[in-house]
Structure 1
Amino acid sequence: MQALQFAHTGDLAALQLVEVAQPTPSADEVLVQVRAAGLNPSDVKNVLGRFPYTTLPRIPGRDFAGVVVDGPSTLLGTSVWGTGKGLGFNCNGSHAAYLTLPAKGVARLPEQLSFSQAAALGVPYTTAWDALQRCQVAQGTRLLIIGAAGAVGSAAIALGKALGADVLAAVRKPEQVLRLRDSGTPTLLLEQTDQLATQVQAHFPGGADVIFDTTGFWLPAVVPALADFGRIAIIAAPVDGHVHLPALALYRRGGVVVGVNSLLYDTVQCARMLEAFGQFFAQGRLPLPSGLREVPLSEGLSSYAEVNTGSQDKIVFIPNH
């Protein structure tokens, strides 16, 4: 079968398009014919060597959608989607024509989603879902999402609204503000850190119940914008991993900081997440993904390079079978 594979890390030139044997599932696994596979920044970082626990040689890729062609009879012929820790790191991932993984590590694909749409959702949506669930976002929660124009931020907006939260976005570029406001999401323009609390308080008197910082740069500034007993979720940090946290202001508010890391969840745990929010598509509570760029897997090397240089396109690989 055709696959992308790397045998060493540190340079995207290590990634090659290769022909490898089709995998064979074990007794507790399924063989999925991959119909679409998402490309995430973490896949690129993996090839570059940012994850020291990756074993080599390795086929990268975490997100996928496809059809079960071997495994338990209850799943044969079923359209499924999935993501999770391990895929592309210590077992072969989704940037290939076929993929094996635990039978409980796949979720049935909502009929409203195409293969490409489903493959584009895995990492960003499970990351956002984990953040919102662990921060107890529910009907009426005053939710601020910083970095709302990115993939995880956009997922958090959609999921927050589906859960009934009062969503406020915050972005750095005026054109992003206009786009989000046009789509019906109140949005702040991020400028000076010392102005953020005032901006948030003007929209949420008393502060935001939950603040989700997807950028890693605003943690010190968001503490004054937090409501009493509020929660702050973070998924990134400065390059050196350190930040000055105004701990006195945080504990006086009874605040909590929640670290969110999608690589803590294996495919089985992620499948349960996909099932949980996947029902929202059937209920019309989540918008269908749009603006995806489908790329043949055979052209995957250039796509990795694009993402590495900052492309914001949501690229979905389509394997040849």
Structure 2
Amino acid sequence: MKAIQFKSFGSPDVLEHVDLPQPQADADNAVVRVMAASVNPSDVKNVSGHFEHTELPRTPGRDFSGVVVGGPQEWLGAEVWGTGGDIGFTRDGTHAEFIKVPLAALSRKPSTLSHAEASAIGVNFVVAWLGTMEYAHLQAGETIAVIGAGGGVGGAVVQIAKARGARVIAVDRHPLSAESPAGKLVDHYVPFDDNATQAVRALTDGAGVDVVYDSVGGVAFETALSLVKRRGRVLEISGTGKRRVEFDLIDFYHNETQLLGVDSAKLGVAESAPLMSALVEGFESGKLQAPAIAQTFTLERAREAYEAVAAGTRGRVVITMQ
């Protein structure tokens, strides 16, 4: 089969378009013909050597959508989707014509999404769901502030929160596009600047929000803490621009703030499958919408796909196998 592989860390130039043996199904694993696979910023970081646990040589790629071609009879021909923090790192990933995954990783993709659209859901929506629903237990009627709402994860949080029945305040350096799925849903927009705390407090009668989902972290961390009400929940997934942070510990414990770290990379492809399955109803009912696909590339042009993501292309970048 054709696949992308890297044998050393570096820029997208280290990616090679190679022939590899096609994986075979066994008692515990199925084989999926990959129809489309997106490229995430974490895939680019993986190739560059950002993750110490990556084992070389490796086929990268976390997200996929495809068709089961090997495995239990009841799964043959099924259209599935998935993601995982192990595939592309400690086991070969999705930027290949076929991928071998545990049977527990199989999750039927929404019938309303094309393979390209389905391949662009995984990482962003899984970490969004994990934080919003599994950790913060966001409830209908609560208010959530999403820092970095214009990004991939932030946009997914906005959609999940609105589907849950929450009020959403988008906090971002720039207004969200009115044409984007998230931009159509936010209740309020607040610029991410020195006045963000005051603006959010004004929208909540001075109390603050129930939940803050901070998809930026680092430089946004202190702002995130300042937005939450007493006994509110703050979710952190990143450390942009600043790994170590300082904050007023007395204010923190007086407010009884709950601070939660969220890391979807800890979930392997099998552990991510239940979260992917939990998202299906939202996409099939129309409560959730696939993000815009900015560019598509063939597998032979994977380097260009990685370069586009590294350059900060807005919208999703997808590799198609057809």
What is the TM-score when the length of structure 2 is the normalising length? 0.94
Aligned partner of residue 138 in structure 1, secondary structure: coil
Look up the match of 1:78.
78
Q: Aligned in 2, Cα 1:14/1:68: closer, same or farther, shift over 3 Å?
A: same
Question: Residue deviations 1:38-77, cap 9 Å, x none?
Answer: 1100000000000111111100000000000000111111
CA RMSD of aligned residues (A): 1.6
**What is the alpha-carbon distance in structure 2 between the residues aligned to residue 286 and residue 12 of structure 1?**
32
**What is the alpha-carbon distance in structure 1 between the residues aligned to residue 314 and residue 302 of structure 2?**
16
Greater shift, 179-188 or 249-258, is seen at 179-188
- Map 1:161-172 to 2 at 5 A: 161-172=162-173
Letter in 1 for 2:281: Q
Q: Aligned in 2, Cα 1:250/1:178: closer, same or farther, shift over 3 Å?
A: farther
Look up the match of 1:242.
244
- Map 1:152-191 to 2 at 5 A: 152-174=153-175, 176=176, 183-185=184-186, 186-191=188-193
- Map 1:20-39 to 2 at 5 A: 20-39=20-39
Letter in 1 for 2:301: E
Q: Report the alpha carbon displacement of residue 125 of structure 1 after superposing the two structures with TM.
A: 0.2
Aligned partner of residue 108 in structure 1, secondary structure: coil
Look up the match of 2:212.
211
Residue 55 of structure 1 pairs with residue 55 of structure 2: yes
Look up the match of 1:126.
126
Look up the match of 2:276.
274
**What is the alpha-carbon distance in structure 2 between the residues aligned to residue 177 and residue 77 of structure 1?**
38
Aligned partner of residue 67 in structure 1, secondary structure: strand
Alpha-carbon contact 2:291-2:315 (below 8 Å) kept: no
Look up the match of 2:224.
222
**What is the alpha-carbon distance in structure 1 between the residues aligned to residue 185 and residue 70 of structure 2?**
44
**What is the alpha-carbon distance in structure 1 between the residues aligned to residue 242 and residue 62 of structure 2?**
26
Residue 294 of structure 1 pairs with residue 299 of structure 2: no
Aligned partner of residue 274 in structure 2, secondary structure: helix
Greater shift, 231-240 or 298-307, is seen at 231-240
Q: Report the alpha carbon displacement of residue 245 of structure 1 after superposing the two structures with TM.
A: 2.2
Structure 2, unaligned stretches of length 5 or more?
none
**What is the alpha-carbon distance in structure 2 between the residues aligned to residue 179 and residue 103 of structure 1?**
38
**What is the alpha-carbon distance in structure 2 between the residues aligned to residue 114 and residue 178 of structure 1?**
23
Letter in 2 for 1:56: L
Q: Report the alpha carbon displacement of residue 178 of structure 1 after superposing the two structures with TM.
A: 6.3
What is the TM-score when the length of structure 1 is the normalising length? 0.94
Question: Residue deviations 1:5-59, cap 9 Å, x none?
Answer: 0001133221111111111123211100000101100000000000111111100
Letter in 2 for 1:160: A
**What is the alpha-carbon distance in structure 2 between the residues aligned to residue 111 and residue 51 of structure 1?**
34
Aligned partner of residue 36 in structure 1, secondary structure: strand
Q: After TM superposition, which residue ranges in structure 1, 4 or more long, deviate above 6 angstroms?
A: 177-182
Letter in 2 for 1:135: A
How many residue pairs match? The answer is: 317
Q: Report the alpha carbon displacement of residue 291 of structure 1 after superposing the two structures with TM.
A: 3.7
Alpha-carbon contact 1:223-1:249 (below 8 Å) kept: no
Letter in 1 for 2:274: R
Q: Report the alpha carbon displacement of residue 179 of structure 1 after superposing the two structures with TM.
A: 6.2
1:263 aligned to which of 242, 262, 265: 265
Letter in 2 for 1:294: T
Alpha-carbon contact 1:237-1:243 (below 8 Å) kept: no
**What is the alpha-carbon distance in structure 1 between the residues aligned to residue 220 and residue 140 of structure 2?**
25
Report percent identity of matched pairs.
33
Structure 1, unaligned stretches of length 5 or more?
none
**What is the alpha-carbon distance in structure 2 between the residues aligned to residue 224 and residue 319 of structure 1?**
46
Q: Report the alpha carbon displacement of residue 190 of structure 1 after superposing the two structures with TM.
A: 1.2
